[in-house]
């Protein structure tokens, strides 16, 4: 999977089985990719910032993330992308963190 824009992009290798279980929308998009070399399919997501996708990968593979050191703008981006990808649990975690860290208890 290639994320980021042309001037700043990064490639990530993700297992289809993990996507099937943890992020069905990316799995479905990957199934629509016709061209692939060997067993590797390439999916491009230029609208997803690299730092946000790293957090998403951490969440998909590890099921836990720490948002304490992140700026609010990064967490908002994380919420936006997780909503687009249908990762509801991550959306809820990011939303709760923003609410709690800004004193809205």
- Residue 48: other Cβ atoms inside 10 A: 20
Return d(Cα 38, Cα 48) in angstroms, integer: 26
Helix (H) or strand (E) holding 3: strand 2-5
Query: Rounded to two decimals, what is the model's pTM?
Result: 0.84
- The tens digit of pLDDT for each residue in 13-67 reads 888 888 888 889 989 988 888 767 777 788 899 999 999 999 999 998 887 788 9
Task: Please give the biggest Cα pair distance in the chain.
Answer: 51
**Whose structure tokens read 């992140």?**
70
Domains and CATH numbers, the chain: 2-101 (3.30.710.10)
Return d(Cα 52, Cα 79) in angstroms, integer: 9
- The tens digit of pLDDT for each residue in 62-84 reads 877 889 999 999 999 999 999 99
């Amino acid at each position: 999977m290639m994320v980021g824009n042309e001037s700043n992009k990064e490639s990530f290798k993700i297992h289809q089985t993990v996507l099937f279980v943890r992020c069905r929308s990316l799995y479905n998009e990957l199934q629509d990719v016709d061209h692939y070399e060997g067993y590797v399919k390439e999916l491009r997501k230029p609208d997803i910032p690299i730092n946000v996708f790293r957090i998403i990968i951490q969440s998909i593979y590890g099921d836990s993330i720490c948002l304490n050191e992140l700026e609010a703008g990064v967490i908002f981006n994380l919420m936006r992308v997780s909503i687009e990808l249908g990762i509801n649990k991550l959306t809820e975690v990011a939303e709760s963190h923003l609410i709690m860290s800004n004193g809205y208890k």
